[in-house]
Amino acid sequence: MDSEFFLWLAIGALGQLIDGSIGMGFGPIVSSILLSMGVSPIASSTAVNAAKIATGAASAASHAWFNNVDRRTFRHLVMAGMVGGLLGALVLSQVDGKSVLPFVNAYLLGLGLLIVYRAFRPVVPKLPHALGIAGTGLAAGTLNAIGGGGWGSITTAGLMGQGQQPRFAIGTAMPRNSWWRS
């Protein structure tokens, strides 16, 4: 195996270590690194989302095992997230990759700042409203497909901002990136 394989392995492992523990970060971390290495936004988004199938399945199985998934929230989140993913992929396929790159970079920077901001904000636990959950899923799915990351950052932060307990916000956001069924 060549050294490039181990570089990609290390990048993926770092992204998943962070993502699995706090429910966000794989996409923004790996996408940012790939974009800085000259990978196009379309190739970066595709690679990150393909990798998240396996990494997300492992995290989803773990969160399901420990009962960290709120099935009601998951049901509202999954359909809206799928619609958003389709919209984002459609937008990305119709736009030149070089023209969208500054917006993707700004989006990823914003996500990084959001992650840091949300880490220090207190959460008052309550059950989120179905429309708020669906809106979060639609936005997260769309932006994830365009930027190659952000599902966990937006859903986890959005659900926690709506009052979902952190354990359930993280655990419920993870299964979307796998083929786990509630």
* Segment 52-85, tens digit of pLDDT: 788 778 878 888 899 999 999 999 999 999 999 9
- Say if 182 falls within a structural domain: no
pLDDT at 76: 92
* pLDDT for the residue numbered 82: 93
Query: Whose CA is closest to 125, among 164, 71, 84?
Result: 164
- Alpha-carbon gap, residue 123 to 126, rounded angstroms: 9
Cα gap 145→84, rounded to integer Å = 8
104 part of a folded domain? yes
Residue 43 domain-assigned (yes or no): yes
- Asked whether the beta carbons of 8 and 44 are under 8 A apart, the reply is no
- Give me the pLDDT at residue 89, please: 87
Number of domains observed in the structure of the chain: 1
Q: Looking at residue 26, what is its pLDDT?
A: 84
Within a domain: 146? yes
Residues in the chain predicted with pLDDT less than 50, given as ranges, are: 176-182
- What digits encode the pLDDT tens for the residues 6-18? 988 888 888 888 8
Give the range of the structural domain holding residue 119, as residue numbers without chain letter.
3-177
Residue 171 domain-assigned (yes or no): yes
Q: Report the pLDDT value the prediction gives residue 97, as an integer from 0 to 100.
A: 65
